[in-house]
């Protein structure tokens, strides 16, 4: 109970102004808090509150959300936790994480109780492609909830490209980890069994976060690629949190990359072969 109550205590502001710094000790609503990117936390909470109601309906009422491994999240610290997951839609996946983490803040169990939207966990960030989050009003709104925007060096507007690696991406993820929890989809695409990018391993070595592997399923069946439109309702959506793991300087980039592929279950040869066969059939119109 005490741990849950601590989740609602004000976070003192790191501000040179002594008046604002003093007020922040009584700032239960977080009016004087900013995230490491300069965004007001109260704005993030408002965005989560507004977006939370319709998205709660989509994942927990129109569909069935099953959460596994919540016991692996109970003793996590409030910062430097890195969630790595496979990816199935642009937005529905990460929205589900927000609901689960806000639910956890209130000490609720596996069933989502949307009361948490009145005081959501705001120190959550997620890595997203810049082009995706700039495409339309809704993505821009979701971006305000904590997107760490990166420019992909290998893909743009649905085609393969080659351009310089976004050097600011790692620094921004480090800022997010220093402030809270960061969600990342290390394949960088919603295509299943795509290779894991080594940028994830670089981030892990640079920050030594607690790494929590996550495996999701059902989102591709329930929603379209963006995750904003239904394909099929009453679909079982599963989010499985595995035990936290730790890496250190003795682990190579290749080792971490390979391990990440394994723990998010994206390296199974028989599944990769099956998926490639299905793609070929789809191309032939069979």
Kindly state whether residues 44 and 68 are assigned to the same domain: yes
The two structure tokens encoding residue 155? 């893909």
Percentage of the chain modeled with pLDDT above 90: 59
- 199 within 8 A of 169, measured Cβ to Cβ: yes
CB contact at 8 A, 240 and 247: no
Say if 282 falls within a structural domain. no
Residues 196, 91 share a domain: yes
Asked whether residue 146 is assigned to any structural domain, the reply reads yes
How far apart, in whole angstroms, are the C-alpha atoms of residue 145 and residue 11?
18
Which among 234, 17, 268, 225 is positioned nearest to 129, based on CA atoms?
225
Instruction: Write the CATH number for 66.
Output: 3.40.1130.10
**Using 50, 70 and 90 to split pLDDT, how confident is the model at 166?**
low
Taking alpha carbons only, the member of 96, 107, 97 closest to residue 8 is 107
Higher pLDDT, 76 or 22: 76
User: Do residues 111 and 132 share a domain?
Assistant: yes
Is 105 found in the same domain as 18?
A: no
Least confident of 140-144, 182-186, 254-258: 140-144
Q: Do residues 84 and 72 both lie within one domain?
A: yes
* % of the chain exceeding 70 in pLDDT: 85
- Could you report the per-residue pLDDT of 79-135, keeping only the tens digit for each? 999 999 999 999 999 999 999 999 999 999 899 999 999 999 999 999 998 888 877
Its domain, for residue 132, covers: 40-268
Burial of 43 (0-12, 13-18, 19+ CB in 10 A): middle
Domain co-membership, 157 together with 123: yes
Same domain as 114, residue 21: no
Q: 246 and 180 in one domain?
A: yes
pLDDT value of residue 285:
58
Both 128 and 16 in one domain: the answer is: no
Q: Are residues 94 and 180 in the same domain?
A: yes
Is 195 a domain residue? yes
Which tokens go with 174?
A: 């480090």
Question: Burial level of 87, CB count in 10 A (0-12/13-18/19+)?
Answer: buried
Specify the number of domains making up the chain: 2
Domain annotation covers residue 279: no
pLDDT at position 173 is 95
Backbone angles phi, psi at 125, to 5 degrees: -135, 155
What are the structure tokens assigned to 267, written together? 């390296």
Residue 146 shares a structural domain with residue 259: yes
Residue 280 belongs to a domain: no
Both 203 and 224 in one domain: the answer is: yes
Residue 264 inside a domain? The answer is yes
With cut-offs at 50, 70 and 90, classify the pLDDT of residue 152: low
HSE-CB for 169 with a 13 A CA cutoff: 25
Q: What mean pLDDT do residues 241-250 have?
A: 94
Instruction: Please give the average per-residue pLDDT across 25-49, as a whole number.
Output: 86
- Asked if residue 4 belongs to a domain, the reply is no
Q: pTM (2 decimals)?
A: 0.87
In a domain, residue 182? The reply is yes
């Amino acid at each position: 109970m005490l741990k849950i109550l601590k989740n609602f205590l004000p976070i003192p502001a790191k501000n040179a102004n002594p008046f604002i710094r003093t007020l922040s000790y009584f700032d239960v609503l977080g009016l004087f808090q900013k995230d490491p990117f300069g965004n007001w936390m109260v704005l993030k909470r408002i965005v989560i509150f507004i977006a939370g109601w319709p998205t709660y309906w989509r994942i927990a009422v129109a569909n069935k959300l099953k959460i596994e491994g919540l016991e692996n999240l109970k003793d996590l610290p409030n910062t430097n936790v890195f969630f790595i997951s496979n990816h199935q839609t642009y937005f529905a996946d990460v929205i589900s994480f927000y609901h689960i983490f806000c639910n956890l803040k209130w000490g609720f169990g596996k069933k989502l109780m949307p009361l948490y939207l009145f005081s959501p966990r705001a120190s959550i960030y997620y890595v997203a492609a810049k082009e995706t989050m700039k495409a339309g009003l809704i993505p821009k709104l979701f971006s305000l909830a904590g997107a760490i925007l990166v420019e992909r060096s290998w893909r743009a507007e649905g085609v393969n490209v080659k351009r310089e690696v976004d050097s600011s991406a790692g620094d921004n993820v480090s800022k997010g980890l220093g402030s809270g929890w960061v969600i990342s989809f290390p394949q960088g695409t919603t295509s299943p069994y795509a290779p894991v990018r080594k940028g994830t391993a670089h981030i892990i070595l640079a920050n030594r976060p607690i790494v929590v592997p996550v495996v999701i399923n059902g989102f591709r069946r329930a929603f379209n690629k963006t995750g904003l439109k239904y394909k099929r309702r009453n679909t079982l959506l599963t989010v499985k949190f595995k035990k936290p793991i730790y890496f250190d300087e003795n682990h190579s980039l290749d080792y971490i990359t390979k391990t990440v592929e394994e723990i998010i279950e994206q390296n199974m040869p028989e599944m990769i072969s099956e998926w490639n066969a299905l793609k070929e059939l789809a191309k032939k119109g069979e």
